[in-house]
Structure 1
């Protein structure tokens, strides 16, 4: 990824009701990858879940939020799967990384 680009940081705490969550998460990941402006996604879950998706523009993020299938998943998340969540949108201006050989 070459900056600048945008990161959507989604942190969440699940309820005890998780039936169907993993399947929906996979569907949303596959759908997001097809969206114009999508770059990549990274996710981890233990006590708190953190998913970071990367996008070319703020408009691409807005379009993803308004996607009807994504809105259905958001509704189910609020009704069933999450006790809380926070979304943060950040502009990435610089990045660097390390990888051992």
Structure 2
């Protein structure tokens, strides 16, 4: 069991990626692992959480909208994005500003 991402005091940004997978792996597992490793090296990356049942929900946390835009345009990430139809029947990306957080 992993713990929730340790994020700084708000404000910061979250990218919420919800998806429904296609059948078969089609190199998804290895590519997802590589993308997380690459994202974690990007300036402004703060953390990541993911869960999958019928719908997958992945949330990445970022220091700024500029950091999110830079990640979206990363060449290796763009190559992975071009394979979306190999891995997903449907997906949605939502970008939001985190104003408040609490928990234990």
Unmatched tracts of structure 1, length 5 or more: none
Matched, 1:19 2:2: no
Q: Secondary structure at the match of 2:82?
A: helix
Query: Which residue does the alignment assign to 1:91?
Result: 97
Structure 2, unaligned stretches of length 5 or more? 1-7
User: Which stretches of structure 1, 4 residues or longer, exceed 6 Å deviation after superposition?
Assistant: none
Deviation at 1:46, TM superposition (A): 1.4
1:31 aligns with 2:38: yes
Q: What is the CA distance between 1:90 and its match in structure 2?
A: 0.5
Aligned length: 97
Q: CA RMSD in A?
A: 0.8
Asked if residue 76 in structure 1 is aligned to residue 72 in structure 2, the reply is: no
TM-score by length of 1: 0.93
**1:27-66 residue pairs with structure 2 within 5 A?**
27-66=34-73
Distance (whole Å) between structure 2 residues aligned to residue 55 and residue 68 of structure 1: 18
Distance (whole Å) between structure 2 residues aligned to residue 85 and residue 30 of structure 1 = 21
Q: Distance in 1 between matches of 2:18 and 2:9?
A: 24
SS of structure 2 residue aligned to 1:89: strand
